[in-house]
């Protein structure tokens, strides 16, 4: 009981620390007709908001369907959590974003387009992508209100849908979405590696290990510099799959040494099989072809 209370208090403390405080500074409202107006939020209701334009005595009412998004000033708490995100501390950032996403009130300007609660959900999806947690992506993707985000935040719906389908274990759907998303993503983009990783998960889910092992290579090969954690995980998965194929022994040996050399500082990951560890010291390989 005492531990639970302490934990609850810690959570409250954590959440309390993440709660946004409404800002009074000026913001910019971008309307769907292309106009951008500087001003200040007066109030937000379910379908509209009142907006103070400079020089006018009364706030103006704008319906949400007239608004593309609002560029609200970023409070310190938001800047803080974004800093965590930018530093790659995704697990910590995710917890904070989750808390903000639950704060659906005037402090986050919810439900206005561009509100911080929805933005936090969007960032949460990105955290989960980086942490490779498809079930969490599936859960969040079902809740997020895309129409409350600026256009620039909607460009990666495709890859998120792919992750979500994987999170739901719906392999057929995931496969279709991967194929559709592949048409949208430029091949040189680092997201292409993420897409191949997701495609690898799909094939893994369908029991097609050989194909999965080849797809994972995009993340640890040409796009390793885009996301080191993804590259390491992709290589680990590939190793575990290639281990099962006796015809790819030389490649397995190469991958094991690559993992140790590039990601493990000379070692494999914790919990790796002894047979893999033995390959690190096995000198019988001829190396590259």
Partner 1 sequence: MVKKRTQGKRAKADWWMRLGVPALLALAIPPAGAQDSTSLDLTTAYDRAVASIDSGQFDEGLAIVDKALADYAEGAIDDYGPVFGHFYFIRGMLLIRKGEYEAAIQPLRTCYETYDNEVLKQVVQGDHRLPNRFRIQALEQWAGCEMAMGKFADAAERYQRVLAEDDQKYEPKINRLQVQINQAKCHIRSEQVTKGKDFLVGQLDNEVLTDPTKRMIFMVLVNNWAPLASTAEIRDFLHRYGDLIRREDLESRHRRNPAFAAQAGTGFDRKDPVRALLWYGLMGHPGELLRERRERLVELESRVVEADAKPQVDARIAELKEEIPKLEKEYVSLQLGIGAAHYQLGSLAGSRAAYKVLADEFPGIDQRPLVLHNLVVCSVNLSRWKEAYQYGVTFFREFPTHELKPAVARVLVEVMFLQGEYAEAHRVASEVREDMEPGSDDRDIPDFVAGGSLFFLGRFEEAEDELDSYLESHPEGKRMELAKFYFGASKVNLFQWAEGAAALDEFLREYPASSVRATALYLCGLAHLVLEDWDISLGRIEELHTSFPDAEEVPGSWNVKGDALAGKGEAEFEEIAACYVEAKRLAEEDSRRDPEVAGYALRQLISAASDEKQWAKAGEWFDEFMQKYQGTSWRTDAVVSALESLVNLERKDEARGLLEGLVNEVGDEPGNPQLDELVGSYVDFLRENYPVEETIARLKSFPANPSPPPAPLRAWLAMGEIEVLAGEDEEKNREAINQAFYRLAALQDGGNLSNYTMVRLARWNLEERNKPEDAEVIYDFILNQRPQGEAVGFALVDSASILAKRGTTNSRQEAMHRFQRVLNEVDSAELREEAILGIARLHTRQEEWGEAQEWWERYLEDRSHSLARPEANYQYAVCLDRRGEEAEAMKAYVNVYVIHAGHLDWSTKAYLRAAEMRKEEGALVDALKILQDMLKRMGHLEHPGITEGRKRFNEWRDELVARGKP
Residues found near partner 1 in the complex (CB under 8 A): 86-88, 186-190, 192, 196, 210, 213-214, 216-218, 220-226, 228, 231, 238, 247-248, 250-251, 253-255, 257-258, 261-262, 265-266, 285-289
Choose between 20 and 215: whose C-beta lies nearer to partner 1: 215
Nearest alpha-carbon partner for 86 in 35, 130, 146: 130
Quote the least distance from Cβ 213 to partner 1, whole Å: 6
Quote the least distance from Cβ 183 to partner 1, whole Å: 13
DSSP, residue by residue, 16-53: HHH------S-EEEEETTS-EEEEEEEEE-SSEEEEE-
Nearest alpha-carbon partner for 76 in 116, 39, 42, 44: 116
Residues 6+ apart with CB under 8 A from 34: none
Quote the least distance from Cβ 82 to partner 1, whole Å: 12
Quote the least distance from Cβ 288 to partner 1, whole Å: 4
Quote the least distance from Cβ 151 to partner 1, whole Å: 12
Quote the least distance from Cβ 110 to partner 1, whole Å: 29
Choose between 4 and 79: whose C-beta lies nearer to partner 1: 79
Choose between 26 and 248: whose C-beta lies nearer to partner 1: 248
Quote the least distance from Cβ 225 to partner 1, whole Å: 5
Choose between 144 and 241: whose C-beta lies nearer to partner 1: 241
Choose between 163 and 197: whose C-beta lies nearer to partner 1: 197
Orientation of helix 171-184 relative to helix 157-167, angle to 10°: 170
Angstrom distance (rounded) from CA 289 to CA 16: 58
Angstrom distance (rounded) from CA 30 to CA 114: 10
Choose between 26 and 182: whose C-beta lies nearer to partner 1: 182
Choose between 44 and 217: whose C-beta lies nearer to partner 1: 217
Angstrom distance (rounded) from CA 66 to CA 74: 23
Task: Report residue 90 as tokens.
Answer: 């995704």
Choose between 16 and 179: whose C-beta lies nearer to partner 1: 179
Task: Report residue 102 as tokens.
Answer: 């639950």
Quote the least distance from Cβ 216 to partner 1, whole Å: 7
Is 30:18 a contact under the CB 8 Å cutoff? no
Residues 6+ apart with CB under 8 A from 171: 165, 202, 205, 206
Angstrom distance (rounded) from CA 132 to CA 236: 14
């Amino acid at each position: 009981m005492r531990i639970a209370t302490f934990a609850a208090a810690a959570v409250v403390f954590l959440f309390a620390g993440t709660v946004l405080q409404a800002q009074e500074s000026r913001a910019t409202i971008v309307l769907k007709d292309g106009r951008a107006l500087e001003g200040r939020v007066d109030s937000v209701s379910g379908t509209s908001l009142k907006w103070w334009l400079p020089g006018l005595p009364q706030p103006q009412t704008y319906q949400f369907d007239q608004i593309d998004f609002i560029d609200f000033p970023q409070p310190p708490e938001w800047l803080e959590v974004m800093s965590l995100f930018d530093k790659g501390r995704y697990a910590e950032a995710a917890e904070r974003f989750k808390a903000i996403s639950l704060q659906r009130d005037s402090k986050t300007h919810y439900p206005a387009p561009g509100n911080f609660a929805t933005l936090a959900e969007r960032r949460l999806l990105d955290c989960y992508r980086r942490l490779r947690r498809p079930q969490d992506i599936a859960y969040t993707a079902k809740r997020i209100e895309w129409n409350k985000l600026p256009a620039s935040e909607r460009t990666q719906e495709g890859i998120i849908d792919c992750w979500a389908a994987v999170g739901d274990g719906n392999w057929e759907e995931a496969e279709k979405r991967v194929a559709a998303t592949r048409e949208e993503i430029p091949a040189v983009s680092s997201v292409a590696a993420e897409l191949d990783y997701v495609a690898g998960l799909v094939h893994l889910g369908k029991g097609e290990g050989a194909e999965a092992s080849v797809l994972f290579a995009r993340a640890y090969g040409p796009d390793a510099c885009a996301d080191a954690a993804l590259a390491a995980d992709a290589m680990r998965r590939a190793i575990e799959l290639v281990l099962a194929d006796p015809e790819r022994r030389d490649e397995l040996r190469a991958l094991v040494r690559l993992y140790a050399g590039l990601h493990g500082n000379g070692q494999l990951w914790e919990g790796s099989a002894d047979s893999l560890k033995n390959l690190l010291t096995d000198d019988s390989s001829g190396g590259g072809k």
